[in-house]
Every structure is written in C-alpha cells, then in structure tokens.
Amino acid sequence: MEAPREAGRGAAPWRAMSAEELEKQYSPSRWAVRRGPEETLKTYSEIGIEATAGARAARRSLLGVQYGAAAGEALDLYLPEAAAAAAEDARPLFVFLHGGYWQAGSKDESAYMVGPLTARGVVVAVVGYALAPRATLDQMVDQVARSIVFLQERFPSNQGMYLCGHSAGAHLAAMMLPVNWTERPVTPNLKAFFLVSGVYDLEPLVHTSVNAPLRLTPEDARRNSPQRLLEAAAAQPGGPAGPVLVIVGQHDSPEFRRQAREFCQTLCRGGWRASLEEVRDVDHFEILWKLAEQDDVLTQIILKTIFPEF
C-alpha cells in the first residue's frame, strides 16, 4: 500500500514509498549498524541516564528551573568549575533539546555533553518540554521559544547562545530560525545552531506510527515544518544569525539524510550561513551519545564553533 499522496505536492521520494518502507525510514533504531533496534534504544537510554548522573555528581547544577508555569516547562543548568557567580553570566551558553519524536525522552537523561563543554567553561542548559499527547507540537515550539527568552534574561551578558537539538529536538531548534524575536520580550544572543539528525519536513511522519500521539493533519505538519516555513522566508529578520550546522550520521536512514541535505540547501538559498556535516560511521543515537567524549569529532566541531580562536 503506497503512502497517501496529495495532488499537486512535489515529487518528494517519500510519497512513492509503501507505508511499510516509510515506517522503516522514520524508525532510526532500525538503521543501527552495531546493535539491534532494541539494544540500541536500551543503550541510548542507559548512556543518557549515566551521563546525566555523572554531570549532576561532578558539576554544580540547578535542576528543574521553571521557565514557565505549566507542567514540563523546566530546564536544568550545569555550571563550569566554580567561577565567580558574576562570571557565569559572561560565558557561552549551550542549550540542548532532546529527541524522542516529541513523545518520549526527557531532560533528566539527556545531559550527554555536559562534561566536555563545562570543562571548557561553557554553561549548559538542558531544556525540558511537554510531550504528546499532553501537548501539541505548536505548544512545544512556543515552550522552546520561551525557554530561550528565559535563558537570555537569566544570562544577559552571555558570550553567545548555541542552540543544539537531536532528532525531534533538532526540529524544535530549527523552528527557532524563522522566529521574529522582536515579538518576544527579549532578543536572544543566538550565535549558532547545531541540528543533529533532525526532521524538517514533518509531512511524511503524518503517515507513520509516530503520529499516533501527535495526531497531526497534513496542514499541522506543514505549519510546523521549518523546511516549508524557510522555503517561503528569507533569512531571519535583521540578518541571519551565526552558522547553522545541519548534522547527520552516516548511518542515519536515507530519509533522515535526504531531509538534512534538503534543509541545508533551503537555508543556503535563504541567505543563512548553513553547512551540512555528515559524521562518519555513527548512527542516529551514537552521534549523540558520543558527545560525552571530549575528543569526539562532533564535540570538537561544537567547541571550535564556540571558541574559533582555539
């Protein structure tokens, strides 16, 4: 059975796929090369829990800081070595959004990168957001925007805000690109985006099991697709923010890799300083859990973006 098609929409390859193939393309664990799907997801969770416990044991942290009044609107802050409190404001701020298809995952098992980044004096914020079916995608996008405003107000002298998301979190981070911050209480000092193994055109997901708790219509999907929004918009009002690194694993599925390529092309056409980074020999999950390693290639890309002079 072929995935439903809408007359007039482009010849995107996913439209010619069977429902079974589409389901597989958007099941990242089925593309892991070193372990089966179940073991992959189990390892991903174990490493996330272990890295987060390690970060909370080794670093000063402020947990469950509410950026909004609703349930789920909280973030964790991880602070570098005991700098003078005032100095914390004048540091780079790395903001992370976890994956889990907007229906799973949490800030409490996502502090993978805290060790290497705080060791270099970077403040790390791991943002939580409400999940489906309790929250809609539109509400999650608004929560992320409000968390970024909150962080800018909490760290007004920050040396740059670096927004990173993995998988569904990369989607939520990408949805910040078209935001007109003049309509928000403060304009964040966004210096770069790291979009890791994301989805940017959500319409294919409407026809997979991912959509069960989200219940997106094709219109909901298009409204929440940065690929669609940025095709129509030029670079961010007031000029493009800093570099946008669209990152994908060599062993991500062909659809995830196509989405990364096409989104990067759209950004470049819109005047953004975007680049495509394919990380060799990692799958959808290894690409993230290796951020716990100081010498990991993606850790080094992030650090060289934050500290170009080093």
| Nearer CB in complex with ligand NFK: 101/155 | 101
Choose one: 96-104, 110-118, 148-156, 246-254; the region binding ligand NFK (CB under 6 A): 96-104
Say how far apart CA 22 and CA 186 lie, in whole Å.
40
Say how far apart CA 134 and CA 73 lie, in whole Å.
13
Interface residue with ligand NFK among 25, 67, 95, 99 (CB under 6 A) is 99
| Nearer CB in complex with ligand NFK: 65/132 | 132
Instruction: Please identify which of the residues 61, 110, 147, 167 carries the catalytic annotation.
Output: 167
Give me the DSSP letters along 141-166: HHHHHHHHHHHHHHSTT-S-EEEEEE
| 68 is a contact residue toward ligand NFK (CB under 6 A) | no
| Nearer CB in complex with ligand NFK: 35/120 | 35
Query: Is the CB of residue 191 less than 8 Å from the CB of residue 182?
Result: no
**Positive or negative: CA dihedral 277, 244, 300, 166:** negative
Half-sphere exposure of 79 (CA within 13 A, CB side): 15
Active site residue 167: yes
Say how far apart CA 110 and CA 200 lie, in whole Å.
21
List phi, psi (to 5°) of 217.
-85, 165
Say how far apart CA 42 and CA 238 lie, in whole Å.
44
Nearest distance, CB of residue 102 and ligand NFK, angstroms? 7
Nearest distance, CB of residue 65 and ligand NFK, angstroms? 23
| 226 is a contact residue toward ligand NFK (CB under 6 A) | no
Interface residue with ligand NFK among 51, 93, 149, 168 (CB under 6 A) is 168
Instruction: Please identify which of the residues 110, 171, 284, 296 carries the catalytic annotation.
Output: 284
Residue type for position 16: A
| 105 is a contact residue toward ligand NFK (CB under 6 A) | yes
Strands 190-196 and 244-249: parallel
| Nearer CB in complex with ligand NFK: 137/241 | 137
| Nearer CB in complex with ligand NFK: 90/212 | 212
| Nearer CB in complex with ligand NFK: 74/196 | 196
* Tokens (6 digits) for 308: 């170009």
Say how far apart CA 302 and CA 310 lie, in whole Å.
12
Which residues, listed in sequence order, are joined to residue 75 by a DSSP beta bridge?
65, 127
| 29 is a contact residue toward ligand NFK (CB under 6 A) | yes
Nearest distance, CB of residue 285 and ligand NFK, angstroms? 7
Nearest distance, CB of residue 241 and ligand NFK, angstroms? 23
| 106 is a contact residue toward ligand NFK (CB under 6 A) | no
Tell the burial category of 262 from Cβ atoms under 10 Å away from its Cβ (0-12, 13-18, 19+).
Answer: middle
- Residues with catalytic roles: 167, 252, 284
Residues in the site for ligand NFK, rule: CB under 6 A?
Answer: 27-29, 37, 44, 99-101, 105, 167-168
